[in-house]
């Protein structure tokens, strides 16, 4: 008798059937990728945030962070019974956690073992919620793990109320864990959550952190979870009290960080070295002064390339910046550099200049979705603000802020802070003082 003698009204999605008894996902392979109708169904149902994915411009400079990248790679690829399924990379703002996660994400993607990647960002806090993260990861898994999409669709079809749930725990179980259990897939599956601390809802991020650590063991052994985060109190409490202890790494304890920052600074200062404006010594001094804060070195290098004042050469700028190095004793180690950059651009005693500064930066930070300079101008016009031919209101401020804002040098891409610590600094008047943005 045919195995399908009583079958009717069914659709196959490009796989092979070795057996149709029991769970069909156990023996299903898909050699030609997901069918377009499945992909569209997942996209429509889950509404993933495709922009919260790996960004190549955030990756580590080649040849840096070798040891920690290799350590995480070995943890993910060589699964043993006693190997924790969660790895937490934690540290202060600006120490380079995200660069490592984006580099690892690209590496695992090239190995065809990246299950999902989601990057939280406070600039996009209204969109990048814990629920959206889970839905995006489920969508990623549907694209990357054979059979996962079909299993996920079955779970959602069996309970049409799943996507209306506000429970992070239930969403994680239903959209990620259950389909993972239904699929027979033995290759490593790596799921990366970057900047978990930037999930603005503390209760939700705590629930997600618990799911990623405490309950990671419930997944098939080949699934593993890499999380990066600042050392926020609620996150560290979960990490320290977790009964199923994850593997963890403190950014402050990484070796070779000073040398890695030196390689980065040398790379960025290559133009000045080539033209004899700088030599090796200032690069080494800047790396040592950075105290492990990659973001400090990154911002400083951007500033050296972008700020030009008559009578001030590169060597003088470097000497000045060496007085602004971060300290581990500082509550906000990057603030001195951020304030110095603003002071060099905008004279806070000139009220007209400061009004222009506050108006432009307020508009950039106030938008729920970052807008380009061209869009910001259109928004002003739409609200009845008249802009004369002599004025380019957003340009007299934003175009000078390239060391602090992405999109400052182009009118067609969204303007947003280079790093979340810049946004935090500007919105805290006690830290930014005259340059604070108050709404």
DSSP bridge partners of 234: none
CA distance 322 to 325: 6
Asked if 81 and 181 sit in the same domain, the reply is yes
228 lies in a domain?
yes
Residue 432 to residues 287, 303, 408, 438, Cα–Cα distance (Å): 25, 18, 20, 11
Asked if 142 and 285 sit in the same domain, the reply is no
Report the 10 Å Cβ neighbour count for 341. Answer: 24
Domain-terminating residue out of 280, 314, 333: 333
- Residues 12-52 pLDDT 10s: 444 444 444 344 454 444 444 447 888 899 999 999 999 99
- Residues 293-342 pLDDT 10s: 999 999 999 999 885 666 678 888 999 999 999 987 888 999 999 999 99
Domain-terminating residue out of 303, 333, 363: 333
Of the candidate ranges 126-135, 261-270, 367-376, 416-425, the one whose mean pLDDT is the lowest: 367-376
**Backbone phi, psi, residue 116, to 5°:** -160, 155
- DSSP letter for 414, please: B
3-class secondary structure, 10:
coil
8 lies in a domain?
no
- Residues 53-81 pLDDT 10s: 999 889 999 999 999 999 999 999 988 88
Residue 313 is predicted with a pLDDT of: 84
Residue 386 is predicted with a pLDDT of: 52
Asked if 206 and 73 sit in the same domain, the reply is yes
Asked if 249 and 355 sit in the same domain, the reply is no
Asked if 267 and 322 sit in the same domain, the reply is yes
Asked if 277 and 195 sit in the same domain, the reply is no
Residue 99 has pLDDT above 60, yes or no: yes
Asked if 127 and 36 sit in the same domain, the reply is yes
Domain-terminating residue out of 333, 354, 377: 333
Asked if 184 and 276 sit in the same domain, the reply is no
CA distance 410 to 89: 34
- Helix axis angle, 36-46 to 130-144, nearest 10°: 170
DSSP string, 339-387: HHHHHHH--TT-HHHHHHHHHHHHHHHH-SS--BHHHHHHHHHHTT---
Residue 418 has pLDDT above 80, yes or no: yes
Count up the domains in the chain and report the number.
3
What does pLDDT average to over the chain? 88
- Residues 173-192 pLDDT 10s: 999 999 999 999 999 999 99
Asked if 239 and 365 sit in the same domain, the reply is no
Residue 309 is predicted with a pLDDT of: 66
Residue 93 has pLDDT above 60, yes or no: yes
137 lies in a domain?
yes
165 lies in a domain?
yes
Residue 439 is predicted with a pLDDT of: 65
11 lies in a domain?
no
Q: What is the pTM of this model?
A: 0.86
- 10 Å CB burial of residue 328 (0-12, 13-18, 19+) is exposed
- Residues 111-133 pLDDT 10s: 999 999 999 999 998 899 999 99
3-class secondary structure, 403:
coil
CA distance 122 to 422: 11
CATH number, domain of 158, equals 3.40.50.300
- Total residues found in the chain within this entry: 439
Parent domain of 114: 24-253
- Residues 245-272 pLDDT 10s: 899 999 999 999 999 999 999 999 999 9
Residue 342 to residues 3, 324, 373, 402, Cα–Cα distance (Å): 73, 14, 19, 11
412 lies in a domain?
yes
Residue that is written with structure tokens 């992405």 in the block: 406
Instruction: Using alpha carbons, select from 220, 215, 260 the residue that is nearest to residue 68.
Output: 260
Average confidence (pLDDT) over 234-239: 94
49 within 8 A of 176, measured Cβ to Cβ: no
Residue that is written with structure tokens 């922009």 in the block: 51
């Amino acid at each position: 008798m045919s195995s399908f003698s009583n079958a009717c009204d069914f659709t196959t999605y490009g796989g092979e059937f070795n057996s149709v008894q029991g769970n069909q996902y156990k023996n299903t392979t898909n050699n030609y990728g997901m069918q377009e109708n499945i992909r569209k169904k997942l996209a429509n149902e889950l509404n993933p945030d495709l922009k919260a994915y790996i960004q190549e411009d955030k990756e580590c400079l080649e040849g840096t962070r070798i040891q920690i990248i290799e350590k995480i790679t070995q943890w993910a690829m060589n699964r043993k019974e006693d190997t924790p399924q969660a790895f937490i990379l934690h540290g202060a703002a600006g120490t380079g956690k995200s660069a490592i996660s984006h580099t690892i994400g690209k590496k695992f993607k090239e190995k065809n073992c990246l299950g999902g990647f989601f990057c939280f960002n406070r600039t996009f806090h209204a969109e990048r919620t814990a629920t959206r993260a889970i839905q995006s990861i489920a969508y990623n898994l549907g694209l990357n793990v054979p059979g996962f999409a079909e299993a996920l669709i079955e779970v959602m079809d069996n309970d049409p109320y799943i996507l209306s749930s506000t429970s992070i725990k239930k969403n994680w179980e239903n959209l990620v864990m259950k389909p993972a259990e239904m699929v027979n897939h033995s290759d490593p599956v790596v799921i990366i959550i970057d900047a978990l601390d930037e999930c603005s809802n503390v209760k939700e991020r705590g629930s997600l952190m618990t799911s990623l650590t405490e309950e990671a063991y419930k997944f098939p052994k080949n699934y593993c979870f890499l999380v990066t985060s600042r050392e926020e109190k609620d996150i560290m409490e979960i990490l320290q009290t977790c009964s199923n202890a994850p593997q963890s790494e403190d950014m402050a304890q990484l070796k070779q960080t000073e040398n890695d920052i030196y390689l980065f600074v040398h790379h960025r200062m290559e133009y000045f070295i080539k033209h004899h404006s700088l030599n090796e010594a200032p690069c080494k001094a800047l790396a040592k002064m950075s105290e492990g804060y990659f973001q400090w070195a990154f911002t400083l290098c951007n500033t050296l390339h972008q700020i030009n004042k008559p009578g001030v050469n590169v060597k003088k700028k470097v000497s000045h910046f060496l007085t602004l190095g971060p300290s581990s004793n500082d509550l906000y180690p990057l603030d001195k550099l951020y304030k110095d950059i603003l002071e060099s651009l905008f004279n806070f005693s000139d009220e007209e200049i400061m009004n222009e500064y506050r108006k432009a930066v307020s508009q950039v930070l106030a938008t729920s979705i970052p807008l380009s300079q061209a869009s910001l101008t259109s928004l002003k016009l739409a609200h009845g603000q008249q802009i004369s031919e002599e004025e380019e209101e957003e340009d007299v401020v934003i175009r000078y802020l390239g060391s602090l804002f992405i999109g400052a040098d182009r009118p067609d891409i969204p303007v947003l802070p280079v790093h979340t610590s810049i946004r935090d600094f500007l919105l805290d008047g006690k830290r930014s003082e005259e340059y604070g943005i108050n709404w």
